[in-house]
Amino acid sequence: MALFGTDGVRGLANGSLTADLALTLAQATAVVLGQGRTAEARKAEGRRLTAVVARDPRVSGEFLSAAVSAGLASSGVDVFDAGVLPTPAAAFLVADIDADFGVMVSASHNPAPDNGIKIFARGGVKLPDEVEQRIEAALTAPKFQPTGAGVGRIRRFADAEDRYVLHLLKSLPHKLDGLHVVLDCAHGAASGVSPETFKDAGARVTVIGADPDGLNINDGVGSTHLGVLAETVVRLGADLGIAHDGDADRCLAVDAHGNTVDGDQIMAILAVAMKDRGVLASDTLVTTVMSNLGLHRAMAENGVNVLSTAVGDRYVLEEMNRGKYSLGGEQSGHVIMSAFATTGDGLLSGLHIMAEMARQKRTLAELATVMTVYPQVLINVDGVDRTRVADAGVADAVAAAVRELGDEGRVLLRASGTEALVRVMVEASEAEVAERIAQRLASVVRERLAL
C-alpha cells in the first residue's frame, strides 16, 4: 500500500505514524530532494542543504516535528524550526528564504489523535507523484550519514511569523477598515497569526476557537463546524465570520445573517473581482468536478472560463501551473491565488474577500449573489465494488438521469480512491428533484455493484 495519500503521509499518531517513520521519512526526503541542481550548487559553494519545518498545535506534533528535524539534521540538513504556523506559511517560507525543501506536520481538518507529514519542494510547491514514489523507495535505501561538522544544525526561525504576516498584508488591494470579522481558528495553527494579521489589515476582530491545548484542534469548531461561528456573528452583529481548518489552508465564511458562503462562492466573488481589476490570468478559474453548477453558470455570465480537474487541490494546482492561471480551488474552501501562494491559504483568501467588501462597499451576502447555489445531494454508497463503476447498467441509469435533468442539473458518479464506496452526486434547480434522482441512482449502484 502506498505511503503517500492525496496530501502527504497521514495516520494515527504513534499508531501507523510513528517517530521512527517520521525520522526515516525525513532522511529519505533529504536524499531525494538533496540531489537537484540547486543542491549540487550549494555543495560546491560549501553550503549545506536547508529546510523549513513547521507544525500545527496538536500534541503529537511536538514529537513528530522533533523526529523530522532530527532526521534532517542527521542527514546534513540545516533546519529552520518555524514552530506552530499554518501550512501555507510553511510553503511561503520555503520560497522566501530559498530553502531546498520544507516539511509541515499536520493532519489538517482531522481530529487530534491523527497527524500527517506534508513535504514541499524548493519554491514551496507540493511534490508530484513520481517524487513521492522516489522518497518512498528511498526509505529502505542508504541515507546520508555525515559526521562531526557535517551534521546539520536546528535553529529557531525567529522571524517566521513576521515574514508571513508582512507577505499577506502586502498582497491586499484594499484595507479592511470599518469591517468587523469573527475569526474561528479551529484551535489550530492559525490561532496566533490569523487574528494578528486581520487586525493589522485594519479590521475589528473577534476571535473564537483560538485556545489550542494540543487536544482540541477541530473539536466542534473550524471550517467543518460552522454553527458556533454563525451564532457568534449574528449575536454580535458582525459583518462576517471566517473559519479556518486545523492547518489554515482552507477558508469558509458566513455572512452577517449566519448563512454559509462556501469555497465555490468565495471563488466566484474573487474571480469576478480579479477579472474586473485585470488580474485574472486568461480570464480563467480552475476548480474540480465537485464544484456547483451554479458556479459554472455564474462564470459564464461574467465572461470567465472554468476548467475542471479531478478532486483534490493538488490537481487544481497542477492545472494552474500548466496554464499559468491565477485562481483556483475547491468547494471545501481550498482557494489558491497563485500570485501570492503555492497552495491553498485560508488567511489569504479571507483577507481578499474582506478587501472586496471594503473596496466595493457591499456586504458579503450581496457579493455572494454573483452565484446561485444549486441544491446538491451527495450519497456515499458503501459495500460496493468501486472498480466496476463503469458497469453498463449504472451507465444507463446515469444517462437517463442526465436526460431528465437536461440543462437544469448535473450528475456525477465517482469511485472512492481509498474505500469500497461510490459517491453519487446530483444537482438540480429544485432540492426535491436532486434528492429523488440521487436516491434512484444510489439504488442502482447498490444493486449492480454489490460485493
**Does 255 count as an annotated binding residue?**
no
Residue 450 CB-density burial (10 A; 0-12 exposed, 13-18 middle, 19+ buried): exposed
Residues 6+ apart with CB under 8 A from 403: none
For residues 114 and 396, give the distance between their C-alpha atoms in angstroms, rounded to a whole number. Answer: 41
* Cβ-contact 161, 192 below 8 angstroms: yes
| Whole-number Å distance between alpha carbons of 160 and 352 | 22
What CA–CA distance (Å, rounded) separates 314 from 281?
19
What CA–CA distance (Å, rounded) separates 136 from 115? 18
Paired sense of beta strands 101-105 and 125-126, if any: unpaired
Give the ranges where 127-226 is alpha helix by DSSP (H): 129-138, 160-171, 193-200
108 counts as catalytic = yes
Max Cα distance, the chain (Å): 72
Q: Which of 60, 74, 106, 108 is catalytic?
A: 108
Annotated ligand binding at 114? The verdict is no
Whether 349 has a binding-site annotation, put simply, is: no
Element (H, E) at 24: helix 19-33
Determine contact, residues 304/280, Cβ cutoff 8 Å: yes
245 assigned to a ligand binding site: yes
Query: What are the helix (H) ranges across 202-262?
Result: 227-236
User: Which residues does the annotation place in the binding site for Mg(2+)?
Assistant: 108, 245, 247, 249
User: Which residues does the annotation place in the binding site?
Assistant: 108, 245, 247, 249
Catalytically annotated residues: 108
